[in-house]
Amino acid sequence: MLKAADKAYDRLTARLAACLQDGRQPGKVDHTIEDLVVQRVFGIACGYPDANDAARLAADPMHKLLLDRDPGHGRDLASQPTLSRFENACGPRELFCMAEALADGVLQRHAGRLRGRGHQVTIDLDPTDGPTHGAQQLSFFNGHYDTWCYLPVVGFIGFNDEAEQYLFTAVLRPGNAPAVRGAIGILRRILRLIYSYFPQAPMLVRLDGGFAHPQLLDFLDTQRKVDYVVAMGLN
């Protein structure tokens, strides 16, 4: 199912891998950048979010099959140290490129699926807490969630009257970040992409009360064919 989903999104994992530079010495490389991306993405999707899970999954037949390796005799997958070096080698530019590749892949997929029959595109942004359990960098106490955490903002997109929504971005932020941080940049980029794939479709932006900030409201007022609904907190 994972491989079928990846194929349906025009090999999204390959598009993500193409954003990354491989600075390793070629003669010492056992696992390509694309293999490492696929291993991490599929591992997380299967419920193994930690790189140290690779210690017991590297020889797993099904996980090897996901990377098109012989499940019985194929080469084992990357180890935890290899995955950790890979993840720490990614900088802001590469992550930004991967975020754009994800959003573009989602819109391209659904533009083809709907074949131009998009009469409304709905965008939802929402912060969510990611509790931390140690001294992680940028972990802060958040009074609203009553915990030490990160506060990433995630973006979902929906089409027409469909109930299903699709993730198009997730941006990691400090645990004490205001909800509105980064929202204008996210919306500016996703609206530009939507215009290119659905030039005639009106858009609706839905936000909760944490986004009720004058700069964001002014930005939305200036956008073409964009309606918005923003909750207002009680004073």
User: What percentage of the chain reaches a pLDDT higher than 90?
Assistant: 72
Residues 83 and 35 in one domain: yes
Is 102 a member of any domain? Answer: no
- Looking at residue 235, its pLDDT comes to 65
Looking at the predicted structure, is the pLDDT value of residue 14 above 80? yes
* CA atoms of 90 and 93, how far apart (whole Å): 8
3-state SS assignment for residue 173: coil
Is 98 a member of any domain? Answer: no
Looking at the predicted structure, is the pLDDT value of residue 176 above 80? yes
Dihedral sign (CA 209, 212, 216, 218): positive
Residues 214 and 123 in one domain: yes
- Looking at residue 143, its pLDDT comes to 92
Residues 66 and 129 in one domain: no
Looking at the predicted structure, is the pLDDT value of residue 116 above 80? no
Confidence category of residue 21, pLDDT binned at 50, 70, 90 = confident
Is 13 a member of any domain? Answer: yes
Is 126 a member of any domain? Answer: yes
What is the pLDDT averaged over residues 16-40? 89
Name the residue range of residue 223's domain.
116-230
Residues 122 and 204 in one domain: yes
Residue 172 is encoded by which pair of tokens?
């990691």
Residues 84 and 120 in one domain: no
Mean per-residue pLDDT over the chain, rounded: 92
Helix axes 33-45, 80-88, angle to 10 degrees: 100
- Looking at residue 23, its pLDDT comes to 81
Confidence category of residue 70, pLDDT binned at 50, 70, 90 = very high
Alpha helices in the chain (DSSP H): 2-8, 12-17, 33-45, 54-57, 61-66, 80-88, 92-114, 183-197, 214-221
Looking at the predicted structure, is the pLDDT value of residue 9 above 90? no
Confidence category of residue 25, pLDDT binned at 50, 70, 90 = confident
End-to-end CA distance of the chain: 48
Residues 215 and 120 in one domain: yes
Looking at the predicted structure, is the pLDDT value of residue 52 above 80? yes
Total domain count, the chain: 2
Contact between 184 and 207 under an 8 Å Cβ cutoff? The reply is: no
Residues 45 and 139 in one domain: no
Q: Which of 19-28, 115-124, 150-159 has the lowest mean pLDDT?
A: 19-28
Looking at the predicted structure, is the pLDDT value of residue 142 above 80? yes
